[in-house]
Amino acid sequence: MSFDYDLFVIGGGSGGVRAARIAAGEYGARVALAEESRMGGTCVIRGCVPKKLMVFASQAGLMAEEMRGYGWEGAQAGRFDWSVFRPKLDAELTRLERAYTANLEKAGVRIFHQRATIVDHHTIALADGTRQTAKHILIAVGGRPALPGIPGEDLGLISDDLFLLDRLPRRAMVVGGGYIACEFATILAGLGCDTVQVYRGDAVLRGFDRQARDLATLQLGQIGIDLRLNVTPEGLERTGDRIRVMLNDGMTEDVDAVFWATGRDPYTGGLGLENTGVHLRPNGAIVVDEWSQTAVPSIFAVGDVTDRVNLTPVAIREGHAFADTVFGARPRKVGHAGIASAVYLRPHEVAQIGLTEEQACARGDVDVYATEFRPMRSMFAGSNAKVMMKLLVDPDTDRVLGCHVFGPDAGEMIQLAAIPIGMGATKADFDATMAVHPTAAEELVTMRTPARRHRLAVQAAGGTAAG
């Protein structure tokens, strides 16, 4: 049977673009890609990139405060002008979008700027009514924000909207305690918005190490966010040009904008998967095996739509491994354990790799090398902001099981720590490494004595041994 293409990719985001470019450019496959919105996908257009630029923009106040502590009398951040920043952001995203498009075209990929749906195991329908056939179909459609399902929720905004605002809200509420909620609240507060963050749990960033979570929770309050814990909205209604939020603790809040950051769901609705034998999980995620192959041999899926680890570098690696395996005769699987990540808060970021202290304790014996200290840079300026560094070590093998950093540029630190830890480094390897002085990161190679030693036998007997 002959097909129009060897590969048809649905979705021009992190995973889809990489897979298409490698399959066509490196392996000579005949590839087409459909993108219904802007090329580059969530990360480039409405995620990592605009978010990080806004994090940079939002730190002027903290920098001015620090500089006053260094003797810069009267140092002030000035007034943030969204009408200057927003067009610059738009121009940068357009530049990136063009670069992604050009790279695909250079690799020989045929691009359809429209929505695609699946007709059968080898056929794609495009929004213009035409059909294309392909030997392989790659689904890389990503995810979409999930709303909480409460009355009036349509009055709220989603993360995409932050980058498209005509003007910044004077008073904003961010709902949630995950990556997006914490980063968005930090950005809004830093840009001068009166910011309320509402989270139903007792500490933000569930899934991260508890000590880091507690420090992040504290920091959100310290930078001026009105953080309400153990609270959740029950309904929204319009009052004039504002929005009234009814909270489950009986309080109401009037704000100019509400941002839902209550998770994301795979974007499989309306994709035509009922025409195939592809299996979905209850949240709509596509079930794939370790080769990113679905239950239908000709259909593969990568990235957030599979809800494995929802990060850009993971989607890219999955897309690349798919192309290597199917078109390059170089079978490659992607490991989803031990992936480092960072949350870009200010002034200190949260970054991690491997097990949390809680997970390590549940797994078995663990020695915890941990330190909390006021770093030279901010202490001199009179700030109480604390840095935290932690290594979790298996006492039997001496292997480092996890690393957690709460501090300035923690994301940059964890990227480098991820290399030795991924290679199986031991605590002795860290100890043998000469420190770079004076840095905050040097603490990672100078912690000599465990702060705590958790022993499974002792815990089972009713306690935790401290060393």
Ligand X SMILES: Cc1cc2nc3c(=O)[nH]c(=O)nc-3n(C[C@H](O)[C@H](O)[C@H](O)COP(=O)(O)OP(=O)(O)OC[C@H]3O[C@@H](n4cnc5c(N)ncnc54)[C@H](O)[C@@H]3O)c2cc1C
198 in Cβ contact with 173 (< 8 Å): yes
Q: Is 177 annotated as a binding residue?
A: yes
Q: What gap in Å lies between CA 196 and CA 261, rounded to an integer?
A: 13
Structure tokens at 150: 């409460």
Burial status of residue 60 (CB atoms within 10 A of its CB: 0-12, 13-18, 19 or more)? middle
Binder to ligand X among 54, 141, 181, 204 (CB under 6 A)?
141
Binder to ligand NAD among 113, 115, 121, 200 (CB under 6 A)?
200
- List the end-to-end C-alpha distance of the chain, in Å, as a whole number: 68
- Whether omega for the bond prior to residue 438 falls within 30 degrees of 0, making it cis, is yes
Contacts 24+ apart (CB under 8 A), 428-436: 428/398, 430/391, 430/400
Stretch in the footprint of ligand X (CB under 6 A) among 31-39, 72-80, 382-390, 413-421: 31-39
Q: Is 124 annotated as a binding residue?
A: no
- Nearest Cα neighbor of 454 from 370, 372, 357, 389 is 357
176 lies in the binding site for ligand NAD (CB under 6 A): yes
Strand 366-373 relative to strand 387-393, pairing = antiparallel
Structure tokens at 371: 């330190």
Helix, strand or coil, per DSSP, at residue 321: helix
Q: What gap in Å lies between CA 326 and CA 7, rounded to an integer?
A: 10
Smallest gap from Cβ 312 to ligand NAD, in A, equals: 8
Binder to ligand X among 66, 209, 253, 304 (CB under 6 A)?
304
437 classed as catalytic: yes
Site string for ligand X, 166-185 (x = CB under 6 A): --------------x-----
* DSSP run (H or E) holding 84: helix 82-106
**In sequence order, which residues have a C-beta less than 8 Å from that of residue 251 and are 6 or more positions away?**
231
175 binds, among ligand NAD, ligand X, none (CB under 5 to 8 A by kind): ligand NAD
Distances in Å between the alpha carbon of 272 and those of 22, 63, 103, 277, 371? Answer: 26, 51, 29, 11, 52
Smallest gap from Cβ 392 to ligand X, in A, equals: 23
Smallest gap from Cβ 467 to ligand X, in A, equals: 36
Helix, strand or coil, per DSSP, at residue 428: helix
Nearer to ligand NAD, 148 or 364 (CB): 148
Q: Is 70 annotated as a binding residue?
A: no
311 lies in the binding site for ligand X (CB under 6 A): yes
Q: Write down the catalytic residue from 121, 279, 336, 437.
A: 437
Stretch in the footprint of ligand X (CB under 6 A) among 14-22, 64-72, 350-358, 452-460: 14-22
259 lies in the binding site for ligand NAD (CB under 6 A): no
Stretch in the footprint of ligand NAD (CB under 6 A) among 56-64, 189-197, 200-208, 429-437: 200-208
447 lies in the binding site for ligand NAD (CB under 6 A): no
Smallest gap from Cβ 268 to ligand X, in A, equals: 9
Question: Which residues on neighbouring strands pair with residue 264, listed in sequence order?
Answer: 145
**Cα-to-chain-centroid distance, residue 409:** 16
Nearer to ligand X, 114 or 252 (CB): 114
Smallest gap from Cβ 250 to ligand NAD, in A, equals: 17
Single-letter amino acid code for the residue at 84: V
294 lies in the binding site for ligand NAD (CB under 6 A): no
Main-chain phi, psi angles of 235, to 5 degrees: 180, 155
Q: What gap in Å lies between CA 324 and CA 332, rounded to an integer?
A: 7
Main-chain phi, psi angles of 7, to 5 degrees: -145, 130
Q: Is 304 annotated as a binding residue?
A: yes
Stretch in the footprint of ligand X (CB under 6 A) among 9-17, 58-66, 274-282, 289-297: 9-17
Single-letter amino acid code for the residue at 115: R
Stretch in the footprint of ligand X (CB under 6 A) among 13-21, 91-99, 190-198, 292-300: 13-21
Annotated binding site: 52, 176-183, 263, 304
Interacting residues toward ligand X by CB under 6 A: 10-16, 34-37, 41-43, 47-48, 51, 115-117, 140-142, 159, 180, 267, 271, 303-305, 310-313, 315
Interacting residues toward ligand NAD by CB under 6 A: 148, 175-181, 183, 200-201, 206, 232, 261-264, 310-311, 341-344
Annotated binding site for FAD: 52, 304
Annotated binding site for NAD(+): 176-183, 263
Q: What residues are annotated to the active site?
A: 437
